[in-house]
Structure 1
Amino acid sequence: MSEELKVIVFGLANEEYGIEVDKVRTIERMMPITRVPKTPSFIKGVINLRGIVVPVLNLSGRFNLPETEETEHTRIIVVSVNEMEVGFIVDSANDVIDLDRDIIDTPPEIVGGIQAKYLDGIAKIGEDRLLIMLNLSEVLNLSEIVQLEQLEV
């Protein structure tokens, strides 16, 4: 019997991506972000989320994709991986769906300009919908983020 996976679907640069629900702590509307000097440009800074300082990065910038304008749909998805909480700025957070693990294929070397090391796979949903599953451990494989995590309010 195949295993089901609950996934948050979000939009980024006209593509749909997925993150397992159990790794997502919260989805927030955009809020003031405090810039931190001497960090890569895709690290937008930190937010104070209910008393906890959370580093925030622009996922488009992380993947070297063109950054889009902030809209009323722009969200910060706060994830927790390896005891580290980090927020991702995404174009929109669309949906929660159940996926069958069997429909997730190994990603090609590059998908939409993103290197395969950042991806867990590609899920084909129906005839014409592809969902790009992120490998959060690789996306967050940054010593800069760990250093930001050490900041206190």
Structure 2
Amino acid sequence: MNNTDKTAPQKTGKRVNWSEVKQRLEAAQVAIDRIWMPTPEDTQKTLQARAQALAREVLPAEAADAGIEVIEFLLAHERYAIASECVREVYPLEELTPLPCTPAFVLGIINVRGEILSVIDIKKFFDLPEKGLTDLNKVIVLESADMRFGIVADVISGVRRIMRADIQSSLPTLTGIREDYLLGVTSERVVILDAGKLLSDEKLIVQEQVGD
């Protein structure tokens, strides 16, 4: 008797179809991907939830003190600033035409692309003493729904944001007409003008002054 024949492993004769196995594995991976891959609607909901969560995380103090964006400029070596939302443009001071019978703070008028605008010297408007030489070669055009005019400047320093917490309401040295048109003064001694009050002041309407 041949014992070897009894102990040898039995072969089924069935071969593994590796192509079919591969297809099954790929199908399983696709199913897994579908489970973990969110739909566009799910993605949108997730993004909205994250945005709402981030909005709630904003500190109340930071939200309250978002600051104001201003254009800072120099006038006779003093630093001034005015809210950029009231500034239409900065224009070179050229061909200034003086006007008779107007207050001293009205330097004259200029033609800005066909529009005639009055030009104001805020230092004279504030009755401030003249200090040092000044070039007065820039005009900052202020504009509201009902009024527009220009104020002169020597140099435009640029646009910046000033935190409201850094603005002092007034200083002992700022009194009278000057203080009435101020938002305040920063710790860097930048005088912030109140554009709203300037643009609503009837004294700055040149047409009403002519002929007085």
TM-score w.r.t. the length of structure 2 is 0.60
Is 1:107 matched with 2:170?
yes
Unaligned runs of 5+ in 2: 1-61
Match of 2:56 in 1: none
Say which is worse superposed, 104-113 or 36-45, in terms of deviation: 104-113
Is 1:39 matched with 2:102?
yes
Contact 1:120 1:135 in 2 (8 A): yes
Q: Which amino acid aligns with 1:46?
A: I
Q: Which amino acid aligns with 2:116?
A: V
Structure possessing the higher radius of gyration over alpha carbons? 2
Which structure carries more strand by proportion? 1
Which structure carries more helix by proportion? 2
State the Cα distance separating 1:139 from its structure 2 match.
3.6
Give the CA RMSD over aligned residues. Answer: 2.7
Mapping for residues 89-108 of structure 1, pairs under 5 Å:
89-108=152-171
Is 1:17 matched with 2:77?
no
Segments of 4+ moved more than 4 angstroms = 67-70
Q: Match of 2:190, SS?
A: strand
TM-score w.r.t. the length of structure 1 is 0.80
Q: Which amino acid aligns with 2:121?
A: N
Q: Which amino acid aligns with 2:192?
A: M
Q: How many residues align?
A: 145
Is 1:86 matched with 2:149?
yes
**Counterparts of 1:92 and 1:112 in 2: how far apart (Å)?**
25
State the Cα distance separating 1:70 from its structure 2 match.
4.7
Percent of matched pairs sharing the same residue: 29
Match of 1:135 in 2: 194
Q: Match of 2:156, SS?
A: strand
Q: Which amino acid aligns with 1:134?
A: L
